[in-house]
């Protein structure tokens, strides 16, 4: 299948050709024709599947075909997404695919002064990309009206839930016209998300390109068993491999990210952190340096990293195993994108073995163990961490915490190698 077969208008086809796009991804080939008909859509797709284009392209085509007064533009399409980085990238995608159309796109998000955003809104906007908090704030100030929105997109709905934005989303829904097209996208479909989708979608077509438990097939995975106190040394050792030109490293906490960056810089390994405590300018600069390969290692927390989209990223390193198994799938999905090769390495201490078992159960496979390294796991029975009060209430950044296990290793397949290639 080609984009020509999707009956797209020539200005969009020209932009896609200029972007180097030749054929649609599975989510695009299924979602675009349905969205073009005006029908509601429920899309379940992992990161890196091309879902932004799956909703951006049909929105641009529908709006381009509508007659409108270019001197008095109204917001006709609203895309709501959880993080600033995602909002910026979605806005960039709309501008790229719609570069030959007479449509205006704008983006609003928190963490920066609102004056520039307000000026753009006053000049008239056809498509608005927004994070929930700033959107509600500008609506309350009278700068934004949603009364003309005909197409609404809720992107990364599961992350909205994780970040506590669902109540904000429900407030936004009350301000939207009842008669509208809604496109709903989520990487996973927990019961709360299924309930929410059922309340806002009307007779939707469901598009699910990959099961929520799957990982990208071409990603080479490996697990290092290591004592918690030796993880920094192991990270430095792994990064001695010159084949790792750049790596995205995940920590659970913002403090942990800062500590890893400080340690790597002392070892003359250029690294920067990206997390919620960083200013928007600092985050964008760090991400830009990483994309331009001026920074070799980007250390990120999960919320900040959800918006990171780097072409040909070959390595993801889980410095800490996530305590929510779906998060592992999201993390490693940052590499191996668009059919490219990718490697995901994880450092697992004794306490994190329980998390590893949950991950392997979710992805329905054993992650090969890297046996030969200089810092093997020795302490299989560390003191148990203080128990939290639930899935989102522990000191390590949210997520369930179980009792630590005492297994000396993970059962299943083993591989013998010194360093990843």
Q: Tell me the CA distances in angstroms from 209 to 26, 182, 201, 326, 339, one per residue in order.
A: 6, 19, 19, 16, 14
Mean pLDDT, the chain, integer? 84
Q: What is the pLDDT at residue 306? A: 57
Return all residues near 193 (Cβ < 8 A) that are at least 6 apart: 157, 158, 161, 186
Rounded CA gap, 327 and 304, in Å? 13
Contact 18, 97 (CB under 8 A): no
Q: Which residues of the chain are modeled with pLDDT < 70?
A: 46-48, 210-217, 276, 280, 303-311, 337-340, 382-421
Dihedral sign for Cα atoms in the order 135, 311, 236, 385 = positive
Contact 56, 196 (CB under 8 A): no
Contact 323, 403 (CB under 8 A): no
Domains 3-208 and 219-415 share a fold: yes
Rounded CA gap, 346 and 317, in Å? 6
Give domain 219-415's CATH superfamily.
P-loop containing nucleotide triphosphate hydrolases (3.40.50.300)
Return all residues near 154 (Cβ < 8 A) that are at least 6 apart: 80, 160, 169, 182, 183, 184, 185, 200
Contact 342, 190 (CB under 8 A): no
Global pTM value: 0.62
The structural domains of the chain, with segments of one domain joined by +, span: 3-208, 219-415
User: Helices in 123-210 by DSSP H: which ranges?
Assistant: 132-140, 157-162, 166-175, 191-200
Q: Which fold has domain 3-208?
A: Rossmann fold (3.40.50)
- The angle subtended at Cα 272 by Cα 238 and Cα 158, nearest 5°, is 90
Other beta carbons within 10 Å of 288: 11
Give the distance from CA 183 to its chain's centroid. 17
Q: What is the pLDDT at residue 353? A: 94
Give the distance from CA 96 to its chain's centroid. 20
- Using one digit for the tens of pLDDT, what is the confidence trace for 116-143? 999 999 999 999 999 999 999 999 999 9
């Amino acid at each position: 299948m080609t984009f020509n077969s999707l009956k797209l208008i020539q200005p969009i086809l020209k932009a896609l050709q200029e972007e180097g796009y030749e054929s649609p991804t599975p989510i695009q080939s299924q979602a675009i024709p349905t969205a073009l008909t005006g029908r509601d859509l429920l899309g379940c797709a992992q990161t890196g599947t091309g879902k932004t284009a799956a909703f951006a392209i049909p929105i641009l085509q529908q709006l381009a075909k509508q007659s409108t007064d270019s001197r008095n533009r109204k917001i006709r399409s609203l895309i709501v997404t959880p993080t600033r980085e995602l909002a910026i990238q979605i806005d960039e995608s709309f501008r790229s695919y719609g570069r030959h159309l007479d449509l205006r796109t704008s983006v609003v998000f928190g963490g920066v002064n609102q004056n520039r955003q307000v000026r753009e809104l006053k000049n008239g906007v056809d498509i608005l990309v927004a994070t929930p908090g700033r959107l509600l704030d500008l609506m309350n100030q009278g700068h934004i009206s949603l009364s003309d929105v005909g197409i609404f997109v809720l992107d990364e709905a599961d992350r909205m839930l994780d970040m506590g934005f669902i109540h904000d989303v429900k407030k936004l829904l009350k301000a939207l016209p009842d008669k509208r097209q809604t496109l709903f996208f989520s990487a996973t479909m927990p019961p709360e998300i299924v309930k929410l989708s059922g309340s806002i979608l009307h007779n939707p077509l469901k598009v699910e390109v990959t099961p929520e438990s799957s990982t990208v097939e071409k990603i080479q995975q490996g697990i290092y068993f290591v004592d918690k106190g030796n993880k920094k040394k192991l990270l430095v050792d792994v990064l001695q491999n010159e084949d790792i030109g750049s790596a995205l490293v995940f920590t659970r906490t913002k403090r942990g990210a800062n500590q890893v960056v400080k340690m790597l810089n002392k070892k003359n390994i250029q690294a920067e952190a990206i997390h919620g405590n960083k200013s928007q300018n600092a985050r964008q600069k760090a991400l830009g340096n990483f994309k331009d390969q001026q920074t070799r290692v980007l250390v990120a927390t999960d919320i900040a990293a959800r918006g990171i989209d780097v072409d040909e990223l070959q390595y993801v390193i889980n410095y800490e195993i996530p305590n929510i198994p779906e998060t592992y799938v999201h993390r490693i999905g940052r590499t191996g994108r668009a059919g490219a090769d990718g490697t995901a390495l994880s450092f697992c201490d004794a306490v994190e073995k329980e998390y590893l078992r949950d991950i392997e159960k979710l992805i329905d496979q054993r992650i090969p163990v890297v046996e030969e390294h200089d810092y093997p796991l020795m302490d299989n029975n560390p003191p148990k961490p203080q128990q939290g009060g639930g899935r989102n209430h522990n000191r390590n950044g949210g997520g369930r915490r179980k009792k630590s296990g005492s297994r000396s290793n993970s059962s299943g397949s083993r591989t013998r190698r010194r360093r990843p290639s």
